[in-house]
């Protein structure tokens, strides 16, 4: 990204109630009760930043505290000391040691549609045999026998 002078900063002594919209890059170090939206922009929540609302941007970097849901189209970073209480949807996630995240995440780098399945997939490595009960079978197969070898205490 080139430095075109289109970076904005909101300092830690600023409190806002309402919606914040921006287009390029915003460093937010104040307190916001409301949502943040951007088309293609980068939001940086500074170490003193506190947002109580939903965030939607291309990239989001959290160093402070966010209580709300985040949708980051390309990337979301939670730095050490950051706190996110809410759900997260992004293509790429960077989670540093010391960051706190409480919520659900959907990380999908290829932006493939996520399909919910009703039945759980069988456990085991790919290609492993799957044992399924046969309707009308009289009893399930017996478990493997345990044997005692000479000289072993059991």
The whole-number average pLDDT for the span 115-128 is 54
Q: Over 70: is that where the pLDDT of 11 sits?
A: yes
* Alpha carbon distance 152, 146 (integer Å): 13
In degrees, rounded to 5, the angle at the alpha carbon of residue 57 between the alpha carbons of residues 32 and 33 is 15
pTM: 0.69
The whole-number average pLDDT for the span 108-135 is 58
pLDDT (0 to 100) of residue 146:
55
The whole-number average pLDDT for the span 16-26 is 94
pLDDT per residue over 60-75, tens digit each? Answer: 999 999 999 999 999 9
pLDDT (0 to 100) of residue 130:
56
Name the average pLDDT for the chain: 82
Q: Which long-range contacts (CB under 8 A, 24 or more apart) does 28-32 make?
A: 29/64
């Amino acid at each position: 990204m080139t430095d075109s002078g289109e970076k904005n900063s909101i300092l830690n002594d600023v409190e806002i109630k309402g919606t914040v919209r921006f287009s390029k890059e915003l460093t937010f170090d104040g307190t916001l009760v409301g949502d943040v939206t951007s088309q293609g922009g980068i939001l940086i929540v500074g170490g003193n930043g506190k947002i109580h609302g939903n965030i939607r941007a291309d990239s989001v970097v959290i160093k402070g505290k966010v209580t709300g849901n985040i949708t980051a189209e390309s990337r979301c970073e939670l730095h050490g000391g950051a706190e996110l209480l809410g759900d997260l949807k992004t293509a790429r996630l960077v989670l540093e040691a010391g960051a706190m995240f409480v919520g659900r995440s959907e990380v999908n780098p290829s932006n493939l549609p996520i399909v919910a399945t009703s039945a759980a997939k069988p456990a085991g490595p790919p290609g492993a045999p799957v044992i399924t009960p046969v309707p009308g079978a009289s009893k399930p197969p017996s478990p493997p026998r345990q044997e005692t070898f000479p000289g072993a205490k059991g």
